[in-house]
């Protein structure tokens, strides 16, 4: 005998076997008892909650010749014909694969014919929201005047896509997600009947993962049974479903809380390479946080940082939604987590800053005045095409940066991408070559347009990042921006593509961005002033061709050791930036 899946084997055959939908069972039982049968039903609800099963039970029970208290006898000729599954008067149609008008038109044509065997001819249309509008119209005409001997049972997971005109002609029954306890109860019954050895903990995990759907829950159990022939363990369950263990999840949570970016990236790398499901991981993290939050309020467990948990749940929800819509799961997951840490650091940083500045307001003011005078003196000496404004207060900020964020900072990916530092140098060079005050003002004045993208799915992280930047100089296609911390600077490299795309959207032309710390900017600025004073001019360097050429050199080297094209431009650029930032024109 061929193997029957547990779901089919344990599919409820009558109303009393149906669990988790007691309200619907009651309604249907009563209408059967009182013989108040509606001619059209619409079953709505999430997948796997028993809509099709209920449709089949209803189709059988209204046709049973010895119905007792709403329950079919299972022995009369109608019951037997239906249970055999070949009764011509029960017509099932899956709208997901038959969305054409033809099928519905055929129903319309045949609907007036009396049933061949049964009392009622029953049409079950699954996933009815998938019908085309033409098909809906044809169906509507039939539903307007259904013959006495016909009953329609429509089922859908997405009632919002069903036209109101259809809904208004049906008795609608809402199938709810099945409660975890009901699922566990059913799973335990199946395990006992099948002599399957399994811990309650695993049943609970299955119920949790099935999101209130029996079909998924029993399907998971079925897979587990085929997976391990002995006693089923939690490891089996986690392995089979790509689930990360609870200890690992807690570990991840604490890494995020402490902003340990290197370890987070390693962690994501690890679970991704193990084939764990990032969508499930995100949902699991939310459940874990939720339990910890409830724990916090119920037992006043002060071990966890409630503010962190609350904001993290919100972020995880956003991540879970983004993951469902994306094909780049890992990138989305990684960048969203990093942006969460960044926002968190920024917030705690701002709070600390506020405290410090209110403590020493007068002090800062006097320093600021001294500093302003300094700047004015410098301005006289320099080309005023670049912004010499600097953050005197930034050192103060650095000292006040709280310990939490500081540890995050020290963890930031420090493996400097040489490509990027070279790229940075070329952009700085070109920016100085074509720097203009007008351009700088234009960029600065339009910078707040970034705010429009702060909540954008694609550019939100880049917009938030840029809104924190200080703009120092702008050339025809270059912008130099600075930040207080190296950790923030290095994040710019990670977002570079998004950042440059966003700038293109805002300014309508291409800009390459150089990212520096304020200190680095001071050095570059002073070099620039020195060069200007010495009459040294800058030379324009082609950013793209330098890199392209470099790539092709590597390619050629790999393919043929003898072929070495002229890469003098690259050499020049390296020489140029290795020693001095500038080249001598004359
Ligand atoms: Zn019967």
Ligand 1 center–CA 77 separation, angstroms: 7
Ligand 1 center–CA 14 separation, angstroms: 11
Ligand 1 center–CA 89 separation, angstroms: 15
Q: Is the pLDDT at 378 greater than 70, yes or no?
A: no
Q: Which two tokens stand for residue 126?
A: 């699954």
The Cα–Cα gap between 486 and 410 comes to 9
Q: Which two tokens stand for residue 402?
A: 């709280």
Q: Residue written as tokens 């013959």?
A: 147
Ligand 1 center–CA 186 separation, angstroms: 26
The Cα–Cα gap between 439 and 445 comes to 10
Which of 214-223, 364-373, 542-551 is modeled with the greatest confidence? 214-223
Q: Which CATH class is domain 180-240?
A: mainly alpha
Ligand 1 center–CA 185 separation, angstroms: 29
Contact 212, 49 (CB under 8 A): yes
Ligand 1 center–CA 62 separation, angstroms: 9
Ligand 1 center–CA 17 separation, angstroms: 16
The Cα–Cα gap between 123 and 113 comes to 13
Ligand 1 center–CA 79 separation, angstroms: 4
CATH superfamily of 6-174: P-loop containing nucleotide triphosphate hydrolases (3.40.50.300)
255-277, pLDDT tens digit by residue? 998 888 889 999 998 888 888 88
Contact 338, 491 (CB under 8 A): yes
Beta-carbon contacts of 165 under 8 Å, excluding residues fewer than 6 positions away, are 140
Q: Residue written as tokens 């329609």?
A: 152
pTM of the model: 0.53
Identify the pLDDT of residue 9: 92
Ligand 1 center–CA 150 separation, angstroms: 18
Alpha helices for 195-274 (secondary structure H)? 200-209, 214-227, 234-240, 246-257, 261-273
Ligand 1 center–CA 169 separation, angstroms: 29
Q: Say what percent of the chain tops pLDDT 90.
A: 33
Contact 293, 313 (CB under 8 A): yes
Ligand 1 center–CA 116 separation, angstroms: 17
246-351, CATH topology level = Zinc Finger, Delta Prime; domain 3 (1.20.272)
Ligand 1 center–CA 112 separation, angstroms: 25
Q: Say what percent of the chain tops pLDDT 70.
A: 78
Q: Which CATH class is domain 416-578?
A: alpha beta
Domains 180-240 and 416-578 share a fold: no
Ligand 1 center–CA 13 separation, angstroms: 12
Higher local confidence (pLDDT), 577 or 256: 256
272-294, pLDDT tens digit by residue? 888 888 888 898 899 888 888 88
Q: What is the distance in angstroms between the CA of the first residue and the CA of the last residue of the chain? A: 92
Q: Which two tokens stand for residue 383?
A: 């080309």
214-261, pLDDT tens digit by residue? 999 999 999 898 887 778 888 888 888 878 888 889 899 999 988 888
Q: Is the pLDDT at 390 greater than 50, yes or no?
A: no
Ligand 1 center–CA 47 separation, angstroms: 29
Q: Is the pLDDT at 480 greater than 60, yes or no?
A: yes
Q: What is the mean pLDDT of residues 435-439?
A: 87
Ligand 1 center–CA 72 separation, angstroms: 5
Q: Is the pLDDT at 308 greater than 80, yes or no?
A: yes
Domain boundaries, the chain: 6-174, 180-240, 246-351, 416-578
Q: Is the pLDDT at 418 greater than 70, yes or no?
A: no
Ligand 1 center–CA 578 separation, angstroms: 91
Q: Is the pLDDT at 557 greater than 60, yes or no?
A: no
Ligand 1 center–CA 66 separation, angstroms: 5
Q: Is the pLDDT at 379 greater than 60, yes or no?
A: no
Reduce the DSSP state of residue 230 to 3 states and report it: coil
86-132, pLDDT tens digit by residue? 899 999 988 888 766 788 888 888 888 899 999 999 999 999 999 88
Q: Are strands 470-474 and 478-483 parallel, antiparallel or unpaired?
A: antiparallel
Identify the pLDDT of residue 135: 86
**229 class by beta-carbon count within 10 Å (0-12 exposed, 13-18 middle, 19+ buried):** exposed
Q: Which two tokens stand for residue 78?
A: 């109608």
Alpha helices for 326-383 (secondary structure H)? 329-359, 361-381
Q: Which of 210-214, 252-256, 301-305, 518-522 is predicted least confidently?
A: 301-305
Describe the strand order of the beta sheet including 171-174 as a list of residue ranges: 90-94, 121-126, 150-156, 40-44, 171-174
């Amino acid at each position: 005998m061929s193997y029957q899946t547990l779901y089919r084997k344990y599919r409820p055959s009558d109303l009393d076997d149906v669990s988790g939908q007691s309200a619907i069972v009651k309604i249907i039982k009563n209408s059967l008892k009182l013989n108040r049968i509606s001619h059209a039903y619409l079953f709505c609800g999430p997948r796997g909650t028993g809509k099709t099963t209920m449709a089949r039970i209803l189709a059988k029970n209204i046709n049973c010749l010895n119905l007792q208290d709403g329950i079919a006898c299972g022995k009369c000729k109608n019951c037997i014909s239906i249970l055999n599954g070949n009764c011509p008067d029960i017509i099932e149609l899956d709208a997901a694969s038959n969305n054409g008008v033809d099928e519905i038109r055929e129903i319309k044509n045949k609907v007036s014919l009396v049933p061949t065997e049964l009392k009622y001819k029953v049409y079950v249309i699954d996933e009815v929201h998938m019908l085309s509008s033409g098909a809906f119209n044809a169906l509507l005409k039939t539903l307007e005047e259904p013959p006495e001997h016909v009953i329609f049972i429509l089922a859908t997971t997405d009632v919002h896509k069903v036209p109101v005109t259809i809904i208004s002609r049906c008795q609608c029954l809402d199938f709810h997600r099945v409660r975890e306890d009901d699922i566990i109860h059913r799973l335990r019954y199946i395990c006992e009947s099948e002599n399957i050895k399994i811990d309650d903990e695993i049943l609970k995990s299955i119920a949790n993962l099935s999101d209130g759907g029996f079909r998924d829950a029993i399907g998971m159990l079925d897979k587990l049974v085929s997976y391990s022939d002995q006693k089923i363990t939690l490891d089996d369950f986690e392995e089979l479903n790509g689930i990360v263990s609870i200890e690992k999840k807690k570990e991840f949570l604490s890494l995020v809380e402490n902003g340990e970016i290197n370890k987070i990236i390693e962690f994501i790398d690890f679970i991704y390479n193990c084939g764990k499901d990032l969508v499930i991981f995100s949902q699991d993290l939310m459940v874990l946080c939720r339990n910890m939050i409830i724990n916090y309020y119920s037992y006043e467990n002060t071990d966890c940082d409630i503010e962190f948990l609350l904001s993290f749940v919100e972020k995880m929800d956003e991540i879970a939604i983004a993951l469902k819509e994306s094909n780049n799961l890992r990138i989305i997951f990684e960048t969203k987590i990093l942006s969460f840490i960044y926002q968190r650091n920024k917030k705690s940083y701002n709070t600390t800053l506020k405290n410090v500045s209110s403590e020493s307001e007068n002090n800062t003011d006097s320093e600021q005045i001294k500093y302003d005078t300094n700047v004015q003196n410098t301005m006289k000496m320099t080309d005023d095409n670049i912004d010499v404004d600097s953050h005197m207060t930034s050192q103060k900020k650095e000292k006040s940066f709280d310990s939490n964020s500081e540890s995050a900072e020290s963890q930031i990916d420090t493996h400097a991408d040489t490509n990027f530092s070279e790229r940075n140098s070329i952009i700085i060079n070109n920016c100085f070559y074509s720097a203009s005050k007008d351009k700088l003002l234009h960029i600065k004045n339009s910078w707040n347009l970034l705010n429009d993208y702060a909540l954008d799915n694609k550019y939100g992280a880049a917009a938030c990042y840029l809104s924190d930047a200080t703009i120092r100089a702008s050339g025809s296609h270059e912008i130099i921006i600075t930040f207080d911390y190296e950790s923030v600077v290095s994040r710019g490299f990670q977002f570079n593509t998004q950042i440059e795309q966003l700038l293109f959207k805002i300014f309508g032309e291409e800009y390459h961005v150089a990212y520096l710390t304020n200190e680095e900017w001071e050095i570059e600025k002073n070099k620039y002033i020195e060069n200007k004073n010495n009459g040294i001019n800058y030379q324009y360097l082609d950013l793209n061709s330098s890199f392209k050429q470099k790539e092709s050199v590597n390619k050629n080297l790999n393919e043929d050791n003898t072929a070495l094209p002229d890469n003098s431009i690259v050499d020049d650029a390296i020489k140029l930036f290795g020693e001095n930032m500038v080249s001598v024109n004359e």
